[in-house]
A and B are shown apart, each in its own frame.
Chain A
Amino acid sequence: MPVEYAKFPYLTTILLSCIAGLLIIVFMPRERKTEIKVVSAVFSGITLVLSIYLYFAYDKQAGGLQFVEKVLWVKSLGIHYFNAVDGFSLPMLLLTGIVFFTGVLTMWELENRVKEFFALLFLLVSGVFGLFMSLDLFFIFIWYDVSLFPMYLLIAIWGSTRKEYGAMKLTLYLLAGSALILPAIVYLVVQSGMNTFDLTALMAPGTFTPGQQRFAFLLFYIGFGILAGVWPFHTWSPVGHVAAPTSVSMIHAGVLMKIGAFGVLRLGIFLCPEGWHYWAHLMAVLATVGIVYGALAGLVQTDIKYVIGYSSVSHMGIVGLGLATVTLDGLNGAVFQMFAHGIMTALFFSSVGYIYDRTHTKAIDELGGLSQIMPKASSFLIVAALTGIGVPCLASFWGELVVFIAAFKTYPLCGTLAVCALVISALFILRVVQRTCYGPKNEQFAHLPDISFGLSIPRIILVSVIVLFGFYPALLFDMIQTASVPLFGRLP
C-alpha cells in the first residue's frame, strides 16, 4: 500500500505529551497536590484534543494508514519506530483520550500519594496510546507491557477490597498472557525470514504457511484473550476491577480490556488470517460461554463493582463473538462494541466511584434510595446501566445489534444463547439500579451531598459521547469500514 509520511508527528506528540506529563509530575514536589492534578488534566487534555483532531482529520476516502511515522530503530533486528493509524486504531485512540481525561478529572479528590498516582497513570496511558498506534511488533510488545505493569502498584497502593490479592492476580494473569505473545512474535519474525518486526511487511500474503498461522494465532488469541477477559481466562477481571481505584477501573475496563481485543485483531487477524478461520469456532464457543457465564455470575453478586466486572466479561464476550463470525459485519460490530463498551464501563465505574467515595460501601444491600439522596450521581449510574443493557439510541445498542445479526447468520445457536444472556444481563443490571437508586433510603447516608458540578464534568462528557454515538453511529461505523473492508479484501 502507498505510504505517505505525516507532515507533523501528531502520534509522537500524543506519546510525548504523556511522557512530558509523567516527567513534570516526577519533578514536582509531592506536597503540591493541586498543581499536580492541574498538570495531569492539562496533559491528558492535550492527548484528548489531539486524538479528536486525528479522528476528524483522517481521510476516510483514502483509507489505509495515515499520519505515518517511521524511523529505523535497531538495524540488526529490523526494528522500526513505526506509528500510523487506520480505521481500527483511531476509535481506540479516541476512546483512550476520552477515558484518560475523564479518569484524571474523576480522581480530583485523591489525597494519598497524589504524585505517584498520576505519574503511574501517565506511564500506563502512554503504553496504551503507544500500543494502539504502533505497527512494529517489538514496540507493540513494549507498549503492551508498559500499559500493564504500573497496574500492580496502582491497585496495590490505592485500591480497596482485597487489593493486594487482586493486584497480584491481575498482574500475573496479564503477564502470563505476554508470555505467550512474545514467543509468538519471535516465532513469526524468525519464520518469515525477513529479519523485520514491521507489521505491514509481515502482513504480505504468503509470508506464513497455514500451519504457522494456526499456531501463532492460537498463542495470540490466548495471550491477548486473557486481557480481553475471554472465558475461562477472565477470573482476574472482576477481582482486579473491584480492587482498583475508580479511575484505574475506568481505564482498565474501559481501555485495557480493549487492548486485548485489539491485539487479537492487529496481530492475530492481520498476521494470521488463516489461523483466524481455523480457530473461529473455538472463539465463538468461548465467547458465548463468556457472555452467558458473565451474565449469570453478575446476577448473584452483592458488590456493585463485581456486577460491573462480570458485565464486562459478558460484554467483551460480544466483541469476541463478533470477531469469531469472520464476517465484515461481525468485525465492524466488534470494534464498535469495543468503543461503546469502553465509554459505557468508564461511566459505570466513575459513577459507582463517586457513590463509594461518599458512602464507603459497594454492597448493594447497604445502599438504597440513592436517587433521593444524590439524584445527579444516581442518574449517571442509571444512564450507564441502560447503556449496558443495550437500550436503543445509546452507543452499545449498535455494536450489540450488528454483532448479533452477524452471529445469527454464522452461528445460530451461539447467537440465540447470547441474546438470551442479554436478557439476563438486563435483569442483573436493573436489579442493581433498583436496589441502589430506588427503594427505601438508607438513613445512614441521608446527609451525604450530591455530586458537585466539577466532579460531574467527566461523567457528563462520557454521557454525551454515549448519546452522540447512539444517535449517530455512522460516525464510527464509517471509520471502521475504512479498515475492515480492505482487510476482507485481502483475505483469501
Chain B
Amino acid sequence: MMNWMLLGPELHCLLMGGVFLGLSMVRPNPARDYLTAMVFATVVVGFGLAGMKLQGDLFAAAYRVDLYSQVFKILIGLGLFLVVSISSGMKGIDERYHPEYYLLLATCTLAMMMMASAVHLVALFIALELSSYSLYILVSMRKGRGIGIEGGIKYFFVGASASAVMLMGMALIYGATRAFHIAELMEILPSVLNQPEVIIGLMFTLGGFFFKLAVFPFHFWAPDVYETAADQVAAYIATASKVAAVAILMRMAAVSGGGSKYLIDVLAILAIVSMTVGNLAAIVQKDLKRLLAYSSIAHAGYILIGILSMSQSGYAGTIFYVLGVVVMKFTCFLVVVKGASGGRNIEVSHLAGLHRRSPILALALMLALFGLAGIPPTIGFTGKLLIFTAAVEQGHLPLVIIAMINVVISLYYYLLILKAAYVEEPAETLPPLEVSPALKVLAIALITVMLVAGIYPQPLIELARAAALALI
C-alpha cells in the first residue's frame, strides 16, 4: 500500500493543472482564476510543510522522498505561492490566457518537485524536460508584438542544446558504470572518477543543470528571457526554477562523493567566470529585469562555490543560500511588478521616488538589495558566510577572496538601484503606488524573514544541515 501523503505536494500540483485545464475551456474570469490558483498554491505549500519529515522510496526506487527533497519541495512550493500572489491583475499576459498561465505554472512546479526527488537518471531527465517545456511556453505568452516569442525561441534553443549535451553525458556515465540509479552511481563513480569519459560524462550531465541555473557558459538565455517574459514568469524563473536547478545539481555533485580534482577545478573556474561575467555585465544594464538576470548569473557562481566544497557544510550552506535567493529575488520582483506600469518593462530609473510612493516596498527593496550583495544582518550574508566557511574548510581560500571582490563589484549596481529608489526624485510627481493590504503583509513578512534569518539563523541552519545529511 502506497502512502499517498508522500506525494502530497506533487498530486496537488497535478490537480491544480487539471482544474486549470478545465477552466481554460470556459469563459475567462481573471479574478476567479487568481483566487483558485491562490488556494491551490497555499495547499501545495501546506502539504509540503506537513510532509517535511516523511521518508520513502517510490516507483522502483526511482523516486526518493527524504528531508532533502522535502525541503526543496517546500521552497519550490513557496516560489509558486509567491509568484501566484503577485499575479492578480497581471498585465504582461493577455487575460484570455490566464488559465493556461496557471496551468503551466502547475505543471512546471510539479516537474520541479519531481526534479528534487528523482534519483534515477531517466526520471531526472523527464522531470527536467517537463519543467523546461512549461517554461518555454510561459515565456512566449508575453503580450505584444512577438517579444515573448523571441525570448521563448532563444530559451528553447539554448535549452534544447543543453538537454542534448546532458543526454550525451548521461549516456557516457551509463557506458562507464552500467548504472542509472543515483544510489548505485554513488558507489561506483568515486572509484572510476579518474577515467576521462566519466569526468566528461559528469560534466556534460551537469551542463544540463547549469543551463537551468544560468551558469556560464549556458547563461546567454537569461537576460533576454527575463527581459521578454512577463514579470511574473521572470520571477518564477528567478526563484522556483533556480531552486530546482540547485536541488538536482547538488544531487548529481554528491554522486561523485568527495569529487575529483578535475571536477572541482572545472566547477571553480565556472564559478569564477559566472560571478565575474554576471556582475560586470549587470553594471551597465538599464532594464531592471535584465539587471536581475545578470545578478542571477553571478549568484549561480556563488552557489557553485558551495556545491564544489562537496561537504555537508557546503551543501547545507547552499540550501540556506537558495532559500535566501528565493526571498531576496522575489522581493525585487515584487517591486518590479508593482512599479511597472501597464505591463511594460521597468527601468532602474523608473524607481525614482519609490521611497515616497511606497515606503514599505522601498524598505523591502533595500533589504533585498543588501541581502543580494551579502551585507549583514540579512539572510544573504548568512548564506554567503556558510558557503565561504565551507569553501575555506576545503582549502578554497583564493576562490573566497575572488568571490568577495565580486561582492564589492556587485554592490556598485545594487547601490545604483538603491539610489534610484531613495535618492532620486521623478521628473514629475507620481501618485503613491497602490499596494493592497495583502501585499503589504507579504512585504512585511519578506522583510521579517530576511532580517530574522540574518540575525538569528540557528533554526534554519540546523534544518539545512539535516537536509544536507540526507543527501550524503
Seen from chain A, the residues whose Cβ lies within 8 Å of a Cβ on chain B are 73-77, 116, 138, 141-142, 145-146, 149, 152-153, 156-157, 164, 168, 171-172, 175-176, 179-180, 182-183, 186-187, 189-190
Contact = CB atoms under 8 A, between A and B. Distances in A.
Contact of B412 (A77, A138, A172, A179): A172
B217 to A, nearest CB: 26
Interface stretch (B143-151, B384-392, B427-435): B384-392
4 closest cross-chain pairs (CB), A and B: A179-B404, A142-B376, A190-B392, A156-B423
9 contacts: A74-B457, A149-B375, A164-B419, A172-B408, A172-B411, A175-B407, A183-B397, A187-B392, A190-B393
B462 interface: yes
B423 A76 contact: no
B86 interface: no
A183 B404 contact: yes
A189 B397 contact: no
Contacts of A73: 456, 458
Contacts of B392: 183, 186-187, 190
Given A74-B457, A171-B415, A183 B408 contact: no
Contacts of B376: 141-142, 145-146
B404 A180 contact: yes
A168 B413 CA distance: 10
B389 A186 contact: yes
Contact of B385 (A138, A156, A164): A138
A142 B418 contact: no
Nearest to A219: B401
A149 B374 CA distance: 12
B422 interface: yes
Nearest to B464: A76
Contacts of B457: 74
Given A168-B412, A172-B408, A183-B392, 9 more contacts: A76-B462, A76-B465, A142-B377, A145-B377, A164-B419, A175-B407, A179-B404, A182-B385, A182-B388
B354 interface: no
Contacts of B401: 179-180, 183
B381 interface: yes
Given A138-B385, A146-B376, A183-B397, A74 B458 contact: yes
Interface of B: 355, 370, 375-377, 381, 385-386, 388-389, 392-393, 397, 400-401, 404-405, 407-408, 411-412, 415, 418-419, 422-423, 456-458, 461-462, 465
Given A157-B422, A157-B423, A168-B412, A175 B375 contact: yes
A175 B385 contact: no
B98 to A, nearest CB: 38
A149 B145 CA distance: 43
B385 A179 contact: no
A168 B415 contact: yes
Contacts of A182: 385, 388, 404
A190 B465 CA distance: 18
Nearest to A188: B392
A363 B130 CA distance: 68
Contact of B370 (A76, A141, A149): A149
Contacts of B456: 73
Contacts of A152: 415, 418
A220 to B, nearest CB: 14
Given A73-B456, A156-B419, A171-B415, A186 B400 contact: yes
Contacts of A183: 388, 392, 397, 400-401, 404
Nearest to A113: B355
Given A142-B377, A179-B405, A183-B400, A153 B423 contact: yes
Nearest to B465: A76
Contacts of A142: 376-377, 381
B438 to A, nearest CB: 21
B70 to A, nearest CB: 20
B389 A74 contact: no
B397 A187 contact: yes
Nearest to B411: A175
Nearest to B456: A73
Nearest to A159: B423
Nearest to A193: B393
Contacts of B404: 179-180, 182-183
A296 B405 CA distance: 32
B299 to A, nearest CB: 17
Contacts of A172: 408, 411-412, 415
A5 to B, nearest CB: 21
A77 B411 contact: no
A229 to B, nearest CB: 19
A77 B408 contact: no
Task: Specify which of B386, B408, B419, B458 lies most central, judged by the most chain A CB atoms within 10 Å of its CB.
Answer: B408
Contacts of B381: 142, 145
A327 B189 CA distance: 58
B408 A76 contact: no
A134 to B, nearest CB: 12
B415 A176 contact: no
B102 to A, nearest CB: 37
Nearest to A153: B422
A175 B388 contact: no
Contacts of B412: 168, 172
A393 to B, nearest CB: 43
Contact of B408 (A116, A138, A146, A179): A179
A172 B415 CA distance: 9
A153 B418 contact: yes
A172 to B, nearest CB: 6
Given A183-B392, A183-B404, A171 B458 contact: no
Task: Specify which of A77, A157, A183, A187 lies most central, judged by the most chain B CB atoms within 10 Å of its CB.
Answer: A183
B407 A179 contact: yes
A179 B405 CA distance: 6
A146 B419 CA distance: 18
Nearest to B401: A183
B393 to A, nearest CB: 5
A164 B422 CA distance: 12
A81 to B, nearest CB: 10
A138 B454 CA distance: 11
Nearest to B391: A186
A82 to B, nearest CB: 15
B389 A189 contact: yes
Task: Specify which of A116, A138, A153 lies most central, judged by the most chain B CB atoms within 10 Å of its CB.
Answer: A153
B384 to A, nearest CB: 8
A74 B461 CA distance: 8
Contact of B375 (A74, A76, A145, A189): A145
Contacts of A149: 370, 375
B300 to A, nearest CB: 20
A164 B400 CA distance: 30
A187 B393 CA distance: 8
Contacts of B393: 190
